[in-house]
Structure 1
Amino acid sequence: MGQCLSVFDDPDPRSPHFDEGQAHLARYEETGSVTNLTRAIEALRDGMPQPHTPRVHPNAAARYNPKPDAHLRPWLCVLGYERAEITGDLADLDEAVNCHSVVVRNTWKDDPKAPGLLSNLGLSLLARFKRTGSIENLTEAILWNREALRLTQGGDPDLPIRLLNLGASFHARFERTGDLVDISEAIAYSQKAVTLSPEGGTSLPEVLADLGSAFQSRFKRTGDIEDLTEAISCFERALEMAPKDHEYLPAYTSNLGAAFHYRFQDTRHLTDINESISHFRKATQMTPEGHAMLPGRLSNLGMALHSRFELTDNDVDLAEALLCQRRAVDLTPNDHANLPTWLSGLGTFLKSRFERSGNIEDLVEAVSCACRAMQLVPERHATFPVFLYHLSTLLYDFYCHDNDSEKLEACISHLKVAAIGNVGHPRTRLSAAALWARLRHRHFPQSADTLTAFDYAIRLLTSTAGLEQTIQLRYTQLQDFSELPLEAASAACALGRPMRALEWLEKGRCLVWGQLTNLRTPVDTLILAKHSELAQRITEVAAQLEPAGLARAQPHVGIPLMERITAENENRAHLDLAKEWEGLLTEARAISGLETFMMPTPCSTILQHLPESGYVVVINVSKDRCDALVLRSGHNILHIPLDSFSEEKAQRYRNGLSDTLKSHQLRDRASNIIADLDEEVGERAVRPVLRRGRGGNPVHDILRGLWVEVVKPILETLELLKVSQGAESTLPRIWWCPTGPLSFLPLHAAGIYGRGVSETVLDYAVSSYTPTVSALTSRLKGPALTVGNEKSGLCLISQVIAPGANPIPGTSREVQSVHTLVSGTNVRVLKHEGKAVSVKKCLKNMKNYTSIHLACHASQNANEPLQSRFLFHNGALDLGTIIRENLKNADLAFLSACETSAGDEKLSNEAVHLAAGMLAAGYRRVVATMWSIGDRNAPEVAVDFYRYLLKDGDARGRFDGSNSAHALHHAMQALRRRLGESEESLFAWVPYVHFGY
């Protein structure tokens, strides 16, 4: 919405045509009538010298500013720019660009109004790009707008608009290429324009609207809800400040409607989509017939109505959506850059009506619309994969209707082109690759193309959550594709390719933690290859990228503008670092022998660094099948199909365990109330009520199912059930690496429990967990931790109560008991309790002690995993802060808090819990809990654990966590023997889990 100055020859003010032209122009400005505008143009043209040759009139300065109260409002340049904005006529735009080009070429260097001339040319080129999609026009627009800004003096009242015009050019390029650097530039220029626009000034609404549009576009790319919130704030302010007769009022109204539509897609709240429809309808009603913006506003209204139809199932909304979209298509010229978008929308609505009515003609027309849209988009355009994907889905719907194999082949072919091309948003290409792989696997399961498709999908998965985004935004991008690596592994297992299955699981799971580990990877290979300068720069950029990714974006709305600008500058610096990182890796991989530098670890390498003894068991759970992949040092991968298990069973067990835990927690709270009431009313009125209605023993049933269907078949294949049960220290280790809903189930406790009958995994193995195989092997192939040095020791921290939390008095007893035990040895030990515990002290002690024991409240944040935290009296220590420390001396962390390995179901394959986070922070092994632990039993478990761990310590005070898995196994068995085999006993010891080596 940039504003343009006049560039045409001024009519001679003595000409009789001048007064006529002014009169028509005044009526146009009063009524908005295109007829009056055309008459004004014709009259002014008649007053121009003949032959018509664009030049700068000697009185140009006065003519550029014909109205003192609106110095940026053009009135002679309407021929090529303002009328084109209204009508969309390409001939007007062409003439505007040509005239501006001649003026700039012949006069601009000597003209005091040069910045305005250049800005006019830039805006005309930008308008033609938006009309035609010509990237050459856009490149030139950026060049001239940049030069216009360079020549504009500080304090010039036109400076905000010049900034805005250049920002709009970068915004347009972002829409074409998807490059986040461009949208960051657009936001930066618009923010600066806001700071220079006086409150109440005529240009401020436009500046705010452009800034809001840039934030909204970035939200569409990254999913950062803060950007959308900022966009809504900008649009609302622009509407509030704009006069009621402002020419851009319909545009501001439409912008706000779009923002509410995007928010609805995130929230699914009816109020948001109703607001969107209301604003779109108002914007459409304010737009006169024949206006160039009318088709777009009709399409926006149609899209919003269709979204409400999908929510409410109201056929009236669908019918109106179709009417709006058809009219948008009919009003749009065939060569318009936005026509493919309107056609695609029409195809979507027709598909919805086909699904309601079954009328095949609707589907035929939908496919026709999608084909036409695809043909109109250049293959190198960023949106090309979008239209290919849309056409493919319609063709598949058609195939499902008539079983025409040609449509299926065409569908898959289009998806393949969309996926493997080098244009478009990675997320769009990933969606295409995922559907390509799924359809190949479903309809041609033996095809080699199935493996090729899944390979592309996994590779695109890693680029979708790139380092240019914060960790939180990477998680947002990954949520919709959490099952993809599991599907890929399932397909590989079905084709007898267990190595490929493992490779995809390793590449596609725990991506964010893997990126963090990669940034901390030593670059010794480059130094050895005599490229020390490159190694140094890679190390420096990695050190800067890590905190940039861990940064948590502050809310935009409500903080001062200068702070927002600072945040945007940091965001731009982050983008620059990510680009430089990719360039450095490309440079390193061009060196002979370093072609795979910092690429995901190949399976062959992973298998070379397995633990010398024990088994790593990866269990893949997908909709199609379930498989175990057993890894053992010096052996090939052993593939064990788990035919009796399924994803449906895993989810049922997960739901059943969750429901039982909730009931158990309610009973615990009730028991506490009873304890308080015992002194007053005794047990006679309450306890019998609690005992009624408990029914069977669901936890026993779940653990039995896991044993019979998952764990026992694996142990039988490994012939571990034939081994006589020996001492705990002689039991073999198993590292479980479950996927999907199985990640939330206690494999380490699988078994049959009951009086006189017991068969469990605890009898045959010591269990640990690992988020991925690489997370385990990276510790084994890394430098050994030096124990017995000045950092070796144990720090104990307890928190009886944190602000707003329930008291946990057992933590003090737990820490005191462990402190007394450890103090009787030569091991260095420190205890902090209560109000003495602060975030700063805890971090300091994490650096100064190899091991830490945290007995406190913990908070798991599923929406923002880096905000999961340990709660102290004097603040909260969040996971992001711990990870930033990069604890090189870390060995063992005992997290005696609730749900520290609970995770998030939407990101089950990303291990977004405190235990995995502590591994990422540098700890080699972590003891955590799957659910709430009892205040009575925690001290006993801790003492038994450390007593076992200390029995091998030497006189020099060595504190080594390498036996921590056996120590936890011992402590759990001890608690189990004390409490028996009841459901209450299981709730007490089963939640304890061990992660790492």
Structure 2
Amino acid sequence: MNPLEQIDRYQLTENLKDLEEGIAGLRRLVARRPSPQLFSSLGNALSMRHDAFARPDDLQEAVHWHRQAVAALDGQPGLAEAQAQLAPILWHLHHREEAQALFEAALRGTLEDRSLVLTNYGWALHMTFMETSDRADLLRGLEVLKEAVEATDRATDRYTWRLARYASALFAEVADPARRAELNTVLETIRQRYPAASEPVKRQVQVLVGFMLAMGEVPEIPQEAFDHMANMPEDLTEVFGTGREAQARLLAMNSSVLIEDVRLAGEVQRANDAVEMFRQALSALPDDSPSLPEILGGLGAVLGLRMEMAGTTDDLDEMVDALRRACALARPGSGIYGMVYSDFGNSLALKFRLGGGLKALDEAIAAYRQAIALVPEHPELAMAMTGLGAALTYRYEVTGRLAELDEAIVHHQAAVDRTAPDHGHLALYLVNLGSALQERYEATRRTEDTEAAVAALRAAVAATPVGSPSRPSHLASLGEVLATRYQVTGQSGAMAEAVRYHREAAETVDEGNLQRLQVLNSLGRTLELSGADPAEAIAVFRTVRAGARPGSSFHRNATVNLAGALLDRAMTGRAPVRAMAELIADLFDDRPRRRRFLGLLSARQAPSGGTPELDEAIELLSEAAKEGLPGTSDVYSRLGLAMRLRYQLTGEPRALTRALRTMRAAVSESGTDGASRSVALFYLAETLRDQWQLAGDERVREESLLRYRQAAEEESASASWRATVGQKWGEFAMEEDAPADAAAGFGAAVAALDEAAWRGLGRADQERILQEYEGLGRDAAAAALQAGDARAALELLEQGRGVLLGQAMDGHTSLDLLRSVAPELADRLAEIHHSQEAAERLDLTEGPDAPHRLDERPVLARRRREALAEIRELPGFEDFLRTPSSRSLLTAAEDGPIAVLNVSRYRCDALLVTADGVRVLPLALTAEQAQAQADAFVAALQAQDLTGIQDCLNWLWSVVTGPVLDALGPTHRIWWCPTGPLTLLPLHAAGEALDRAISSYTPTLRALISARDRARGPRAARRMTLVGLTETPGAPRLEGVSREIQAVTEHFPDVVELRDGDATHDKVIAALTQNTWAHLACHAVQEISEPAQARLLLHDRPLLVRELAAQRLDQAELAFLSGCETSRGGTVLSDEAINIAASLQLAGFPHVIGTLWPINDTHAPAVAAEFYTVLTAGGTSPPDPAAAATALHLA
């Protein structure tokens, strides 16, 4: 038989006898009549025998005969065919440069089946990429394989299997959106052609793209590839070989597809199937198989995914062992090398988190560094980078070394930067980046870090589809950062968001997901911070602790958090009321919890003694303290707090002794963490205070004052915490008759107020926070007066009152001088102020962009701080927008004396401010008496009790107004600056005050200075906004409005008149911004218990006091408010001047006329007519706003 026919028959029957006889016959033919065609045929036959028996000599001899064919055909027809047959064998033997040159030369020549050569060449390039990760090979391979597909007849089966090869290679570029779209198109074509394909082609499709079937990219087809390896077509056996090694190589080649399928599916059963597949492949391989790294790496990866999905740690040791072996076997520079080291790092990091100790963490960091350093362009590089970042963050949490956290953020950012926007792992990288940035913020209080953290985490949540198994943990991470924002800044919207995200996360996380414990722990912390009932937080923490492995970070955190929630419960309703009142107001920095606890003052006293919650909290905290892990300072602080509460409940000195010892340990363990140190020092000061009261040791008293000071001076603690600490320090010092210490303590608290109610908050949050420190400025001034420093008292009073007013005035400050020196800085600050005012106006409206608003205000506040820091470095601008000194404040008295009436629980005084200085006049009243008279006056007004009103006025004259005017002597003008309850009383109307001086009011001295400065500026042509509502929907008719409007227009003809139906909200706002004067004759409402709800009643809807304050009326001159109680403040936030008149002054009117009580519609027109008559000298001269007080006095 002809040897060539025997070889053909072998290919059909796989009868090895035919192959052996064919090779022998070809040798004889070559010896008798050598030719290039016979050389090639003999080479091909020897290659077939190598595939059957794996004898290296056969392959070397095959190369010899193919080389002979190439040499014989040099320059002749048939050369390209000979080159194409030699090239794959040389590639298999790793002579890749020569093989590539032969492929390229063959493709330039004439070929019988060009598409087959293109397919072999493209696949060889792709397989080289799989080993080396050289992307140039991948891109060239894709180019060649695509050309092969396009050159193949679509009517043949060859088109289908070449498409499958192209799809398999395309998967390496799946992160590229364009490539992924092309892959989906190719797979759809395969899906359509598959049913009609022959069985051999179907088997090739299964081999090449079978692992994509589970992801639904191609039809579900029984995976029979491994059963047909012996019958694989020749071109595949050249690459893979046959038998068990071929099976393993096929699985290894597609392991990344299988792993990604498991990750995307998020199903335990899918993970189980993948684990079993890898285990079977592993058991079938010899110890020296080159495919072991891929199989071991795949097994480790899917074991890790299965643990995450199932919520168990049973596979931990097998996972770590598999990946350790994979790393040991992987060849440096191979495609698998970086991936297995990255996964090995992941497994060790998980082992550390589950209680594996620092050795596991250090080994994880080393593995990540290996993955990054030796394979810089590996496809898993971003995953290795973020893994290293996470591990460095864990180590920072252990060591406290900030450099490690800085490096972690660099790696997380690098992972994000190198990842496409629609890549499936981007959300994970963003979460890791955001979490690390927040860690650094909590260490350094650099607000740009928390801003970036929120932005990254919002982007991560947006990139994670609903239903993804990762979404709950991403939501929890965002919720944690927002909860911290609330804790530090008081932004209530952030807490509302945090609770919402945490509840969604807890409701959607799978029961068996390993992340469930972390999600629930975050939910419990947020509930605790929100001031909710501790019962739900206790239940959540118990669930976490029961499900966490003892010794793991989850278990320890749950233990500490559970103890904290139990301590909350122990402090709620079971301790004696007096002890609770002393303890609760100052021991927690989150304000809602303090407010809830202060409500216990009205509760009935409970029997003393321990509580089950307190006993369990002490037991749990003692257990956590013994571990000596990071965060021990906070554990000791809580334990000391619990022991102090036990002392409060039982009176046992031993409990106090242990509390004191534990508090000292908390200070010692706090290290460089300033915020934790401040907490520990404060708790120590409080406990020393108890010890002083118990034993009377003077040294204990002195140390207590020292510890308060140290706690208040810790700048990294939140502003609200420092304000609370300073206030407690001042109170203790006043109790101990140490006014200098008290002034320092209260002064520290006052200095923190502006930051506590910072510009990054909405107005409602600012008002809520300031309400918690009601009277702080007055107490600070009283302490300074007690210490004999009147000027310091004036400064403290000015700084501690009118905080919101001062912030708004900063935004209205003229920047002309700054612009002449540094125009860029002036423009930047002006832009920031305008943006802050716009944000304030937006806060008054509802909309879908609430998260954006929450994030924008802190950014603006930070930018303002940065701009001010630059401005204050300029010569002559060192005090730019700082709190004025007493010397500057004295300029407020240039037109007449100012009586600043300070009402404090410690003493009451009038600070008589003149251009020459400050004189102190002690007043014969107490804060309680002042409050009682204010309450009586308000009640008398409401009841129209003229006798009661007169009684209050008589008292006011005898105790306040009379003594002040007597002390000042004859004076034509006086400005009253009342504080506290005196803001509700008509000082100017008491006794002989109307006869002895023309009175005006100012909320602060700075407000008076600012109003005068604005009044001196250039003004537009005088034009009045005249608003009058005879009929107001839902309110009584005002008969006198028409007469009042007529009286005004007689003396002020240039008006924009808005009457009744035209007096709408938007029209009035627009007119106020365009005109310089305003007269408003309408109903006004002042909610005395909620002054922020003060409003003018217009035709369509009310105009709120906050809306007025948010305007910027640069050309305004004078506003006349002919409505009820437009100048009266409230019983809360009395020192913030929250009323309609003050809001108009804040908006820009230097002169505002208002009322302190309800006015009679009958008299209002007459007063207005007389006022404008006097102001214009009977219509003979233009109105002079500076004469407004005189005109009103005479009217």
TM-score range, shorter chain: 0.7 to 0.9
Give distance in 2, aligned partners of 1:551 and 1:179.
26
Matched, 1:509 2:801: yes
The residue type equivalent to 2:1036 in the other structure is I
> What SS does the aligned partner of 2:427 have?
helix
The correspondence for 2:1069, drawn from 843, 846, 850, is 843
The residue type equivalent to 2:433 in the other structure is L
TM-score by length of 2: 0.68
The correspondence for 1:748, drawn from 973, 976, 988, is 988
Which protein has greater RCO, CA pairs closer than 8 Å, 6+ apart?
A: 1
Cα distance, 1:323 vs structure 2: 1.8
- Residue 177 of structure 1 is matched in structure 2 by 444
> What SS does the aligned partner of 1:637 have?
strand
User: Identity of paired residues, percent?
Assistant: 27
Cα distance, 1:421 vs structure 2: 4.0
Cα distance, 1:917 vs structure 2: 1.1
Q: Deviations over 1:743-802 (max 9, x none)?
A: 222222323xxxxxxxx4223233221001121123334452668x63244623326214
> What SS does the aligned partner of 2:1026 have?
strand
- Residue 101 of structure 1 is matched in structure 2 by 369
- Residue 922 of structure 2 is matched in structure 1 by 641
Question: After alignment, is 507-516 or 419-428 more displaced?
Answer: 419-428
Cα distance, 1:222 vs structure 2: 1.6
Question: After alignment, is 138-147 or 281-290 more displaced?
Answer: 281-290
Matched, 1:299 2:568: no
Change (3 A) 1:533 1:855: same
- Residue 1142 of structure 2 is matched in structure 1 by 916
Q: Deviations over 1:341-385 (max 9, x none)?
A: 122111111111111110111111112121111111123533321
Give distance in 2, aligned partners of 1:783 and 1:285.
69
The residue type equivalent to 2:993 in the other structure is V
The residue type equivalent to 2:559 in the other structure is L
The residue type equivalent to 1:514 in the other structure is G
Matched, 1:954 2:1180: yes
CA contact (8 A) 1:298 1:325 kept: no
Q: Deviations over 1:903-923 (max 9, x none)?
A: 343322211222111111111
- Residue 663 of structure 2 is matched in structure 1 by 370
> What SS does the aligned partner of 1:583 have?
helix
The correspondence for 2:357, drawn from 85, 89, 106, is 89
The correspondence for 1:482, drawn from 764, 771, 774, is 774
CA contact (8 A) 1:548 1:574 kept: no
Give distance in 1, aligned partners of 2:934 and 2:997.
23
The correspondence for 1:330, drawn from 610, 623, 627, is 623
> What SS does the aligned partner of 2:571 have?
helix
Change (3 A) 1:323 1:151: same
- Residue 724 of structure 1 is matched in structure 2 by none
- Residue 620 of structure 1 is matched in structure 2 by 902
The correspondence for 2:977, drawn from 713, 723, 737, is 737
The correspondence for 1:800, drawn from 1031, 1054, 1069, is 1031
- Residue 937 of structure 2 is matched in structure 1 by 657
Cα distance, 1:817 vs structure 2: 0.9
Cα distance, 1:240 vs structure 2: 2.0
The residue type equivalent to 2:467 in the other structure is G
Question: After alignment, is 831-840 or 942-951 more displaced?
Answer: 942-951
- Residue 981 of structure 1 is matched in structure 2 by none
Give distance in 2, aligned partners of 1:46 and 1:851.
81
Give distance in 2, aligned partners of 1:403 and 1:388.
20
The correspondence for 1:283, drawn from 544, 568, 573, is 544
Give distance in 2, aligned partners of 1:769 and 1:280.
55
- Residue 71 of structure 2 is matched in structure 1 by none
TM-score by length of 1: 0.81
Give distance in 1, aligned partners of 2:671 and 2:646.
29
- Residue 974 of structure 1 is matched in structure 2 by none
- Matches of residues 662-811 of structure 1 in structure 2 within 5 Å? 662-664=942-944, 697-720=947-970, 732-751=972-991, 760-782=992-1014, 784=1016, 790-793=1021-1024, 795-798=1026-1029, 800-802=1031-1033, 806-810=1034-1038
Give distance in 2, aligned partners of 1:198 and 1:831.
56
> What SS does the aligned partner of 2:421 have?
coil
- Residue 443 of structure 1 is matched in structure 2 by 736
Give distance in 1, aligned partners of 2:418 and 2:727.
50
Change (3 A) 1:637 1:575: closer
Change (3 A) 1:426 1:481: same
Question: After alignment, is 598-607 or 145-154 more displaced?
Answer: 598-607
The residue type equivalent to 1:641 in the other structure is P
Give the paired residue count. Answer: 879
CA contact (8 A) 1:298 1:324 kept: no
- Residue 236 of structure 1 is matched in structure 2 by 503
- Matches of residues 218-237 of structure 1 in structure 2 within 5 Å? 218-237=485-504
Give distance in 1, aligned partners of 2:669 and 2:422.
45
Question: After alignment, is 861-870 or 79-88 more displaced?
Answer: 861-870
Change (3 A) 1:491 1:49: closer
Give distance in 1, aligned partners of 2:437 and 2:617.
31
- Residue 40 of structure 1 is matched in structure 2 by 318
Give distance in 2, aligned partners of 1:734 and 1:487.
25
> What SS does the aligned partner of 1:293 have?
helix
Question: After alignment, is 595-604 or 136-145 more displaced?
Answer: 595-604
- Residue 396 of structure 2 is matched in structure 1 by 129
Matched, 1:898 2:898: no
Q: Deviations over 1:636-657 (max 9, x none)?
A: 3222111x21101111122333
Change (3 A) 1:947 1:184: same
Matched, 1:402 2:695: yes
Matched, 1:153 2:441: no
Give distance in 2, aligned partners of 1:578 and 1:518.
11
Cα distance, 1:79 vs structure 2: 4.4
Cα distance, 1:42 vs structure 2: 6.5
Cα distance, 1:318 vs structure 2: 4.1
Change (3 A) 1:884 1:648: closer
Q: Deviations over 1:647-671 (max 9, x none)?
A: 011111223334444545xxxxxxx
> What SS does the aligned partner of 2:1154 have?
strand
Give distance in 2, aligned partners of 1:554 and 1:371.
50
> What SS does the aligned partner of 1:126 have?
helix
Give distance in 1, aligned partners of 2:623 and 2:634.
13
The residue type equivalent to 2:931 in the other structure is Q
- Residue 727 of structure 1 is matched in structure 2 by none
Change (3 A) 1:901 1:866: same
Structure with greater proportional helix content: 2
CA contact (8 A) 1:306 1:317 kept: no
- Matches of residues 969-980 of structure 1 in structure 2 within 5 Å? 969-971=1193-1195
Change (3 A) 1:116 1:865: farther
Change (3 A) 1:826 1:115: closer
- Residue 457 of structure 2 is matched in structure 1 by 190
Cα distance, 1:220 vs structure 2: 0.7
Cα distance, 1:111 vs structure 2: 0.6
The residue type equivalent to 2:550 in the other structure is E
- Residue 679 of structure 1 is matched in structure 2 by none
- Matches of residues 483-502 of structure 1 in structure 2 within 5 Å? 483-502=775-794
The correspondence for 1:599, drawn from 868, 872, 882, is 882
Q: Deviations over 1:483-505 (max 9, x none)?
A: 22212211222233222211221
Change (3 A) 1:824 1:739: closer
Unaligned runs of 5+ in 1: 65-73, 266-271, 665-693, 721-730, 752-759, 972-997
Q: Deviations over 1:139-187 (max 9, x none)?
A: 1111100000111112211111111111111121222223333222222
Cα distance, 1:452 vs structure 2: 4.4
CA contact (8 A) 1:178 1:382 kept: no
The correspondence for 2:853, drawn from 560, 567, 570, is 567
- Matches of residues 75-86 of structure 1 in structure 2 within 5 Å? 76-77=344-345, 79-86=347-354
CA contact (8 A) 1:734 1:767 kept: yes
CA contact (8 A) 2:435 2:453 kept: yes
Cα distance, 1:536 vs structure 2: 4.1
Instruction: Provide the aligned C-alpha RMSD in A.
Output: 3.5
Matched, 1:393 2:690: no
Give distance in 2, aligned partners of 1:4 and 1:290.
28
